[in-house]
């Protein structure tokens, strides 16, 4: 089943210099597609287009239920509320047993969910961001350099965890790490 269909996408911040010109992409459930490229090549812009934060100049984007995991976990959470309060804001029926199981798999102490973002390390907060995304039960998971705040061993463990859940969704991964992309992707798209 297709979770993302992009057809003839055209976009540029300047109409004379297009970032995407007649760009097509299909992503299926159970598949990982990695987008790699230098800073400024349009990787994050693609996510902005998929999430309707910016409008394309042409073409169509059809995306199923989306959850996002961003590079900077501190910008993903409001500083005044606990992690759990913010998870409850986006998920109406939270299954506590599922939260406990996912925390264990993410090597995340459940007590950390009662803390505010500034009380956690970057790695802990990123795992909270991944937890929130998984609890949202997405069909399409947009992952923007989500393991960059984690050390190499934990980064691989987190990607392995996401791979275990892959039958439930498709992943569009932005990464600068070509080794990571080569290791986990079904398809790699290089942007210039």
pLDDT digits (tens, 9 = 90+) for 92-136: 788 889 999 999 988 889 999 999 999 998 888 888 998 999 999
Strand partners, 173: 34, 143
For the record, the structure tokens of 61 come out as 């984007």
Does the pLDDT value for residue 68 go beyond 90? Answer: yes
Measured between alpha carbons, how far apart are the two ends of the chain, in Å? 29
Beta-strand ranges (E) seen in the chain are 2-11, 20-28, 32-37, 58-63, 66-69, 140-144, 170-174, 187-191
- Average model confidence (pLDDT) for the chain? 89
Does the pLDDT value for residue 149 go beyond 70? Answer: no
User: Which residue would you say has higher pLDDT here, 168 or 5?
Assistant: 5
pLDDT at 60: 97
pLDDT at 177: 80
pTM to 2 decimals? 0.88
**Which whole number is the average pLDDT over 75-79?**
91
pLDDT band at 148 (very low <50, low <70, confident <90, very high): low
Among 42, 56, 44, 51, residue whose Cα is nearest residue 11: 56
Look up the CATH number of domain 2-75+122-191. 3.40.50.300
Residues contacting 188, CB < 8 A, separation 6+: 33, 34, 36, 178, 181, 182
Burial 58-71 (b: 16+ CB within 10 A, else e): ebebebbebbbbbb
pLDDT at 138: 95
**Which whole number is the average pLDDT over 65-79?**
89
């Amino acid at each position: 089943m297709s979770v993302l269909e992009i057809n003839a996408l055209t976009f540029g911040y300047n109409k004379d210099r297009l970032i995407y010109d007649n760009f097509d992409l299909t992503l299926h459930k159970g598949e990982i597609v990695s987008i790699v490229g230098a800073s400024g090549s349009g990787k994050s812009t693609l996510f902005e287009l998929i999430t309707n934060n910016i409008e394309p100049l042409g073409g169509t984007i059809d995306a199923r239920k989306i959850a996002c995991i961003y590079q900077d976990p501190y910008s993903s959470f409001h500083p005044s509320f606990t992690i759990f309060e913010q998870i409850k804001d986006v998920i109406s029926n939270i299954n506590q047993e599922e939260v406990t199981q996912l925390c264990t798999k993410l090597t995340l102490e459940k007590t950390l969910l009662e803390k505010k973002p500034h009380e956690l390390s970057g790695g802990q907060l990123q795992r909270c961001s991944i937890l929130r995304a998984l609890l949202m039960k997405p069909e399409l998971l947009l992952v923007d350099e989500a393991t960059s705040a984690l050390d190499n061993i934990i980064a691989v463990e987190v990607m392995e965890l996401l791979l275990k859940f892959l039958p439930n969704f498709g992943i569009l991964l932005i990464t600068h790490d070509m080794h990571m992309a080569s290791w986990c992707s079904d398809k790699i798209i290089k942007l210039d």
